[in-house]
Homo-oligomer: A and B are copies of this chain.
Amino acid sequence: MFMKKIINDPHDVVPEMVDGLVRSYPSILEQVPDTLAMVRADKDSMKGKVGIVSGGGSGHEPTHAGFVGKGMLSGAVAGQVFTSPTPDQIYAAIKAVDQGKGVFLVVKNYSGDVMNFDMAKDMAEMDDIEVRRIVVDDDIAVKDSLYTQGRRGVAGTIFMHKVLGAAAQEGASLDDLEKLANAVLPNIKTIAVALSAATVPEAGKPGFELAEDEIEFGVGIHSEPGYRREKLRPSKELVEELLGKLDDEMHLDPNKQYAMLVNGMGATPLMEQYIFAHDTLDQLKAKNITPAFTKVGNYMTSIDMAGISLTLFELADPAWLKALNYPVETVAW
């Protein structure tokens, strides 16, 4: 099978991508020299504030660097494709954003990420930079998966970025942010459906094969297996399946407020995402729920995978809705 991608040497994908992104948005992003860490170009305006750093394997663009900027992340570290960034690179980002008030890490729940972010935390602490972290595990599809103990961290992570980013910009302490992250975490849940798998450039072929008319529910953002394969069905029925799973988990309640994220996986056009959003809003309305905040687009992708994930975030604290609406200056929010 021929790999049809607009790239140069597959080994150069990540450095070339990071360079292209940073040079395209020089007023927002700066690259830490000799690393794949990116930090806010306006980092002087962060003086006296806690830094927030996220990151992980590449292939999920615009995540994470697209969310670096005023009001959101202070820095992001890009690993190789679908591979955790190394501790020294994460540490470089921590060091670059630290303003003496400590740094908070947002880590998606994959064994490699958790291990490497924790090692970077240790390195920073030896340097007297105080570090705390949250491990996001919003994907309700499966427990324990390829690369993961427990549940995987997926698209809902960007809601975590947003809420913490607003709080940090308003001057929250490291303690405040840790408390906030722990309060927010159990309220964010995500589930996905895939129509095709991603092709990692160095692998040259898709991570799995689906028949021409087949889909898979619950697939992860690194082509990890989901929970069921079947024939493609209309959008309405896909929404019924995914929203049903979220409802089982969250016990959706018309007296509560929710944020909703319809997330495209990379190759699924906005046309399909808007239709899927239409069906989701209809089915929520049938439960007397109208989300207080909605986003639709490619936010946490899986390279060129076709598919959609649906995230719901129960806004248990009204301050979280304000945080979602807080102004930011980023490439991708």
Interface residues of A (CB under 8 A from B): 1-2, 4-9, 13, 16-21, 23-25, 58-59, 61-62, 193, 195-196, 212-213, 232, 234-236, 238, 260, 262, 266-279, 281, 294-296, 298, 301, 303-304, 306, 308
Chain B residues near A21 (CB, 8 Å)? 274, 277, 296
CB distance from A311 to the nearest CB of B (A): 13
A62 (CB) vs chain B CBs: closest residue = B270
Query: Which 8 A/B pairs are nearest by Cβ-Cβ distance?
Result: A20-B278, A61-B270, A20-B274, A20-B277, A6-B272, A17-B274, A24-B294, A267-B267
A278 and B23 contact, CB distance less than 8 A: yes
Chain B residues near A13 (CB, 8 Å)? 271, 275
CB distance from A177 to the nearest CB of B (A): 27
A20 and B267 contact, CB distance less than 8 A: no
Given known contacts A17-B275, A24-B277, is B235 in contact with A6 (CB within 8 Å)?
A: yes
CA distance A294 to B298 in the complex (A): 19
Chain B residues near A294 (CB, 8 Å)? 23-25
A308 and B6 contact, CB distance less than 8 A: yes
B17 and A304 contact, CB distance less than 8 A: no
Chain B residues near A276 (CB, 8 Å)? 6, 20
Query: 19 extra interchain contacts, Cβ-Cβ under 8 A, other than A2-B213, A24-B277, A24-B281?
Result: A2-B232, A4-B195, A4-B196, A4-B212, A6-B238, A6-B275, A7-B275, A8-B279, A19-B278, A20-B278, A21-B274, A23-B281, A58-B271, A61-B271, A61-B274, A267-B304, A269-B301, A269-B304, A298-B298
Q: Quick one: copies of this chain in the complex?
A: 2
B301 and A4 contact, CB distance less than 8 A: no
Chain B residues near A308 (CB, 8 Å)? 6
Chain B residues near A5 (CB, 8 Å)? 272
CB pairs A–B below 8 angstroms (9 shown): A7-B234, A7-B271, A16-B274, A24-B260, A58-B271, A62-B270, A267-B269, A268-B304, A269-B304
A308 (CB) vs chain B CBs: closest residue = B6
Given known contacts A2-B213, A298-B270, is B236 in contact with A8 (CB within 8 Å)?
A: yes
Chain B residues near A274 (CB, 8 Å)? 16-18, 20-21, 24, 61
A266 (CB) vs chain B CBs: closest residue = B269
Chain B residues near A232 (CB, 8 Å)? 2, 4
CA distance A4 to B212 in the complex (A): 7
CB distance from A3 to the nearest CB of B (A): 9
CB distance from A70 to the nearest CB of B (A): 13
Chain B residues near A8 (CB, 8 Å)? 234-236, 275, 279
CB distance from A219 to the nearest CB of B (A): 14
A237 (CB) vs chain B CBs: closest residue = B8
CA distance A81 to B192 in the complex (A): 27
CA distance A77 to B140 in the complex (A): 39
CB distance from A21 to the nearest CB of B (A): 5
CB distance from A94 to the nearest CB of B (A): 24
A215 (CB) vs chain B CBs: closest residue = B4
Given known contacts A16-B278, A23-B278, A24-B281, is B7 in contact with A272 (CB within 8 Å)?
A: yes
